[in-house]
Amino acid sequence: MEPKCVVFANQKGGVGKTTLAVHMAIHAHNMGFRTLLVDLDQQGSSTFLLTGDADRHQTEAGTALDLWYPNRKVPVQVSPIFGFDFLQASAALDAVDDDLDPAIRALRRLLVVDSGQGPYHVVVVDCPPAPGVRQMAPLMVADRLVVPVTPDALGTQGLASMIQLGLTQVRPVNPKLELRVLINRLKANSPKNRAIAQNLHDQLPEFVLPDDLYEREDVRTGLRLGKPYWEVCRDAGQQDAWYQTFDGLLEGVEGDEAQTQGVEVDAPDNADEILAQQEARRGEVMS
Ligand SMILES: Nc1ncnc2c1ncn2[C@@H]1O[C@H](COP(=O)(O)OP(=O)(O)OP(=O)(O)O)[C@@H](O)[C@H]1O
Ligand SMILES: [Mg+2]
């Protein structure tokens, strides 16, 4: 079984790609799924959040760049802060931006790489804030594209072209790609923000996720403490919105059989009746 691949991309910077990709990976890991986060941004922001080391990406060896070399193994590491696996960024990742085909081959390796305990259940990709090979190639292998947007005039710039890219260039080649728009950093006291968010829900109901995520200092505080926002926040409404959002993004992710066997199934209310009927039928056949 191949992992589900969820890609966070938007050419607009600062909309929350990294923050939300890391939350996605935390939630998947907490749910017991074997999870791999891939940092394709040469700025290495998620590599920093996962390691606490701001210079970690200043190297080429042992980074996501190795995906481009089929004879090198995929250098997965474990986040000492969050406990899930990741593939770190390299400041030299822009060296691979000329050719799409090798990039698609490189990223396909993510779907077959072994975690050591079997294939991953979920692969989360954090993309750089620029259109190009490292945004396009992940979409070619992805099951789900999440486009974070901030509900302001600048933040929604580029959304139309992201949707266009997904629908007209990627879907014909990768028909399984689902598109999701996630409103993030909404300033609760800004009527303008609220109006733009409402407009997005009205205009793009098939893509925009139901819950808006607010701009909250606790988001940053949580990540500094190695915790998702819903574990540190003081707002029940937003706690629910964040949890539901990431839970929804896990839809369709399948764990091991052993995991699903553990799920308890309630007997139907009329179980006795069904059993009695079956018993009676058994009698019929026997006689
Ligand atoms: N809901 C939120 N509330 C408060 N701060 C947030 C929220 N989402 C993101 N941030 C903060 O906004 C900044 C930009 O977020 P982030 O780095 O996740 O965006 P990005 O889209 O990955 O940026 P880049 O384009 O540079 O890769 C960060 O400082 C992050 O902590
Ligand atoms: Mg980022």
pLDDT tens-place values along the chain, 287 residues long: 899 999 999 999 999 999 999 999 999 999 999 999 999 999 999 999 999 999 999 999 999 999 999 999 999 999 999 999 999 999 999 999 999 999 999 999 999 999 999 999 999 999 999 999 999 999 999 999 999 999 998 888 889 989 999 999 999 999 999 999 999 999 999 999 999 999 999 999 999 999 999 999 999 999 999 999 999 999 999 999 999 999 999 999 999 865 544 445 566 666 666 666 656 655 454 43
The total domain count for the chain is 1
Point out the ligand 1 atom lying closest to the alpha carbon of residue 215.
3
Closest ligand to Cα 15: 1
Instruction: For residue 7, report the distance from its CA to the centre of ligand 2, in Å.
Output: 12
Ligand 1 atom 23: residue of nearest CA: 14
Question: Would you say residue 197 lies in a domain?
Answer: yes
Residue 189, domain CATH: 3.40.50.300
The residue range of the domain holding 244 is 4-254+264-277
> Residue 152: its pLDDT value, please?
94
Question: Would you say residue 282 lies in a domain?
Answer: no
Cβ atoms < 10 Å from Cβ of 40: 27
> Residue 158: its pLDDT value, please?
87
Question: Would you say residue 48 lies in a domain?
Answer: yes
Question: Would you say residue 129 lies in a domain?
Answer: yes
Which residues line the pocket of ligand 1, CB cutoff 6 A? 13-19, 41, 45, 129, 184-185, 213, 215-216, 219-220
Question: Would you say residue 36 lies in a domain?
Answer: yes
DSSP 3-state of 267 = coil
Instruction: For residue 51, report the distance from its CA to the centre of ligand 1, in Å.
Output: 17
> Residue 285: its pLDDT value, please?
42
Instruction: For residue 184, report the distance from its CA to the centre of ligand 1, in Å.
Output: 9
Question: Would you say residue 285 lies in a domain?
Answer: no
Ligand 1 atom 31: residue of nearest CA: 220
Closest ligand to Cα 130: 1
Question: Would you say residue 22 lies in a domain?
Answer: yes
> Residue 281: its pLDDT value, please?
56
